[in-house]
A and B are shown apart, each in its own frame.
Chain A
Amino acid sequence: MKEVRLMKGNEAIAEGVIRAGCDGYFGYPITPQSEVMEYLFANKTKERTGMIVLQAESEIASIHMVYGGAASGKRVMTSSSSPGISLMQEGISFMAGTELPCLLMNCVRGGPGLGTIQPSQSDYFQAVKGGGHGDYKMIVLAPASVQEMYDFAKLGFELAFKHRIQVMVLSDGAIGQMMEKVELDEQVPRWTDEEIVKLHPWAATGKTPDRKRNIITSLDLNPVKQEIINRNLQKKFKHIEETEVRFEKIMCDDAEYLFVAYGSSSRICQKAVALGRAKGIKVGLLRPITLFPYPTKELAKLAKQVKGMLSVEMSAGQMVEDVRLSVNGAVPVEHYGRLGGIIPAPDEVLNVLEEKFIKEKLLCKTH
């Protein structure tokens, strides 16, 4: 039987990376995710697995430490919250340009600016559409439970190395701070330096006589070559879109109306589905687990079945753009969001669905 523990989301991802064989964590304290680094230090990772934990002087320094560690083929990560992730965009862009694997966790808080420390989903665009400069994407995983915070540590590293890409776990203050039971896996051993040389022949680990030197750079002053590099990056993103889409469907088989929501909002919507079904409304929920790649095809299929979709996000309406692109006008798509760190209630969300789609339709029929 698996080991089960009651943990905070932030602690769960910290335990998850230790058990996933992470080699290094470089971070900077910021609410609401400081527990990640605190947990790692308290758990004496150096003694437990040999994992290095370092508190950097800034988020900028921590992401560039990750850049250095990733270039040498190690499993490395950092975590932060919205303003800190903004500071990290430079380093993330450099890792995109050099195709380095790493794990990032954004425990999103409300913005812009310092905003609030309460949960929010207002960093969707930043995470999913690139964030830093240049044409690039990251794989974005959206956990909706403490268990997923734990699970996505291992999954994140697997995807990062499979595709040589940055993987962001897009959490929020609610998922990070709440406590739930977590089933834990066996420890994955850290790679030895010899294994890294074999597994990742691209890594800068010191030039040996049997190979050419490894250079980790995103610079090519020849525009023809740079275009080829960028096109190859796009091919990789396309391949990821075709192979790595993950989502969960709840009560969708006979659904006439659909909530689309990820992370914390999807938990609210799951309850709203139950409330709606109790009232006789055939409503379902599509929960994207990967935000990039987005479950576009699944939404396009559902658009042929349902009468309307409501994208529920704790933002002014960011993911709703991807929902609309997915259904391409086939079905009305509306947005409902709370801002500034407020989590909507299930009945509130259901009321919006009813008002936007069902009551308006009834009014139309009576006139």
Chain B
Amino acid sequence: MQDTLTNEEICKPENMVYHRTALLTEAPLSYCPGCGHGTAHRLIMEVIEEMKMQANTIGVAPVGCSVLAYDFMDIDMQQAAHGRAPAVATGIKRLYPDKFVFTYQGDGDLAAIGTCETIHACNRGENITIFFVNNGIYGMTGGQMAPTTLPGMKTATSPFGRDVETMGHPLKITELIANLPGTYFVTRQSVHTPANVRKAKKAIEKAIQYQKLNKGLNFVEIVSNCNSGWKMTPLESNKWMEENMFPFYPLGDIKVPK
């Protein structure tokens, strides 16, 4: 008899084991199908909801695909100029030291135009949390080469592949900032498999918890896909990411508190 439970008998509120967090708004996400941004948004909002921190959180949105992050996150947010989110977050956090302040940035925003703001916020040990989504490309502007684009990788501005002789090398900004005394917790995660999603959520929890300690900047890189920019299906892009991005940007904690 138990084997023949109807849909109605199973789909009762008390049996619900997963539903999108209430801190994501009803607005449909503006991201391409299969883009990791959506999952990254969801995890951050899940943690803020679980920690009951909505009233205490101020987020900073970047310029890039996630420029409209504030449309999807049901928290107070400010939209920053391209690359300046760490400076904006610094201004907020210095004046509201008890609030949870985070930035959400892409690789062009954080590691090209905003390198100066990123490095100095890290070096000052600002008590903010940076969520850094690295997909090796400028997504919103149409797939141009990013500071993180892999050698040989084809983009709209490296149509024959990134030639490191003339276009420079990909920047491992996360390893770079992990060397600065002002960073406290630095980790690299991904959100493309259930196991990786679970690990990434734990890392996000730590990066939010640690801000309360006032020990420095907490930094979570999420290596992600850009199936539109990479010109692949979502499933192909995740496979390509595993085979090409992860060897160059290996997952795992880079700096953990002693």
Chains A and B directly touch (beta carbon < 8 Å):
yes
* Chain A residues packing against B (C-beta within 8 Å): 23-24, 26, 52, 54, 56-58, 60-62, 64-72, 74, 76, 90-91, 94, 98, 193, 204-209, 213-219
Other A-B pairs, 19, CB within 8 Å; known A61-B84, A71-B78: A54-B94, A57-B120, A60-B116, A61-B87, A64-B91, A67-B81, A68-B80, A70-B91, A72-B96, A94-B80, A94-B81, A204-B76, A204-B77, A205-B76, A205-B99, A206-B54, A207-B75, A213-B75, A213-B77
Contacts of A209 in B (CB 8 A): 55
B88, A67: Cβ atoms closer than 8 Å: yes
Q: How far in angstroms is the closest Cβ of chain A from B90?
A: 5
User: What CA separation (Å) do A207 and B74 show in the bound complex?
Assistant: 8
30 sample A-B contacts, Cβ–Cβ < 8 Å, listed by A number: A24-B94, A24-B95, A54-B94, A56-B87, A56-B90, A60-B84, A60-B87, A64-B80, A64-B87, A64-B88, A64-B117, A67-B78, A67-B84, A67-B88, A67-B91, A68-B78, A68-B88, A68-B91, A69-B91, A69-B94, A72-B91, A76-B91, A90-B81, A94-B81, A206-B58, A206-B75, A207-B55, A207-B75, A218-B79, A219-B67
Is B39 an interface residue, CB under 8 A from the partner? no
Q: How far in angstroms is the closest Cβ of chain B from A116?
A: 27
Contacts of B77 in A (CB 8 A): 204, 213-217
Q: How far in angstroms is the closest Cβ of chain A from B233?
A: 27
A206, B99: Cβ atoms closer than 8 Å: yes
User: What CA separation (Å) do A60 and B81 show in the bound complex?
Assistant: 10
Name the residue of chain B whose CB is nearest to the CB of A214: B76
Known contacts A76-B91, A215-B77; A61/B55 CB under 8 A: no
User: What CA separation (Å) do A164 and B150 show in the bound complex?
Assistant: 45
Known contacts A206-B56, A215-B77; A76/B116 CB under 8 A: no
Is B47 an interface residue, CB under 8 A from the partner? no
B90, A68: Cβ atoms closer than 8 Å: yes
Q: How far in angstroms is the closest Cβ of chain A from B28?
A: 15
Tell which of B56, B67, B79 has the most Cβ of chain A within 10 Å: B79
Q: How far in angstroms is the closest Cβ of chain A from B125?
A: 13
Question: Which size bracket describes the interface of B in this complex?
Answer: 20 to 34
User: What CA separation (Å) do A24 and B54 show in the bound complex?
Assistant: 25
Q: Which of A57, A66, A205, A208 contacts B91 (CB 8 A)?
A: A66
B90, A65: Cβ atoms closer than 8 Å: yes
* Chain B residues packing against A (C-beta within 8 Å): 54-58, 60-61, 67-68, 70, 74-81, 84, 87-92, 94-96, 99, 116-117, 120
Contacts of A216 in B (CB 8 A): 77-79
B116, A26: Cβ atoms closer than 8 Å: no
B76, A54: Cβ atoms closer than 8 Å: no
Q: How far in angstroms is the closest Cβ of chain A from B66?
A: 12
User: What CA separation (Å) do A216 and B75 show in the bound complex?
Assistant: 11
Name the residue of chain A whose CB is nearest to the CB of B71: A215
Q: How far in angstroms is the closest Cβ of chain A from B213?
A: 20
Q: How far in angstroms is the closest Cβ of chain B from A40?
A: 14
User: What CA separation (Å) do A60 and B120 show in the bound complex?
Assistant: 12
Name the residue of chain A whose CB is nearest to the CB of B30: A221
User: What CA separation (Å) do A76 and B96 show in the bound complex?
Assistant: 13
Q: How far in angstroms is the closest Cβ of chain B from A2?
A: 30
User: What CA separation (Å) do A54 and B125 show in the bound complex?
Assistant: 13
A217, B70: Cβ atoms closer than 8 Å: yes
Q: How far in angstroms is the closest Cβ of chain A from B32?
A: 17
A74, B95: Cβ atoms closer than 8 Å: yes
Contacts of B81 in A (CB 8 A): 64, 67, 90-91, 94
Name the residue of chain A whose CB is nearest to the CB of B88: A68
User: What CA separation (Å) do A26 and B76 show in the bound complex?
Assistant: 23
User: What CA separation (Å) do A161 and B87 show in the bound complex?
Assistant: 22
B78, A204: Cβ atoms closer than 8 Å: yes
A207, B84: Cβ atoms closer than 8 Å: no
User: What CA separation (Å) do A24 and B96 show in the bound complex?
Assistant: 11
Tell which of A64, A74, A94, A193 has the most Cβ of chain B within 10 Å: A64
Q: How far in angstroms is the closest Cβ of chain A from B127?
A: 13
Q: How far in angstroms is the closest Cβ of chain A from B151?
A: 30
A76, B95: Cβ atoms closer than 8 Å: yes
Contacts of A70 in B (CB 8 A): 91
B58, A72: Cβ atoms closer than 8 Å: yes
User: What CA separation (Å) do A283 and B68 show in the bound complex?
Assistant: 58
Known contacts A57-B120, A65-B87; A206/B55 CB under 8 A: yes
User: What CA separation (Å) do A337 and B56 show in the bound complex?
Assistant: 54
Name the residue of chain A whose CB is nearest to the CB of B119: A57
Q: Which of B54, B56, B61, B87 contacts A68 (CB 8 A)?
A: B87
Contacts of B116 in A (CB 8 A): 57-58, 60-61
User: What CA separation (Å) do A313 and B41 show in the bound complex?
Assistant: 54
Closest 10 interchain pairs by CB? A68-B91, A65-B91, A64-B87, A68-B88, A217-B79, A57-B120, A204-B76, A64-B84, A69-B91, A216-B78
Q: How far in angstroms is the closest Cβ of chain B from A277?
A: 51
Contacts of B57 in A (CB 8 A): 206-207
Tell which of A54, A57, A66, A70 has the most Cβ of chain B within 10 Å: A57
Q: Which of A71, A91, A215 contacts B92 (CB 8 A)?
A: A71
A69, B75: Cβ atoms closer than 8 Å: no
B58, A204: Cβ atoms closer than 8 Å: yes
Contacts of A205 in B (CB 8 A): 58, 76, 96, 99
Known contacts A57-B120, A65-B94, A219-B67; A207/B54 CB under 8 A: yes
User: What CA separation (Å) do A215 and B92 show in the bound complex?
Assistant: 14
Q: How far in angstroms is the closest Cβ of chain B from A199?
A: 15
Contacts of B67 in A (CB 8 A): 219
Name the residue of chain B whose CB is nearest to the CB of A52: B94
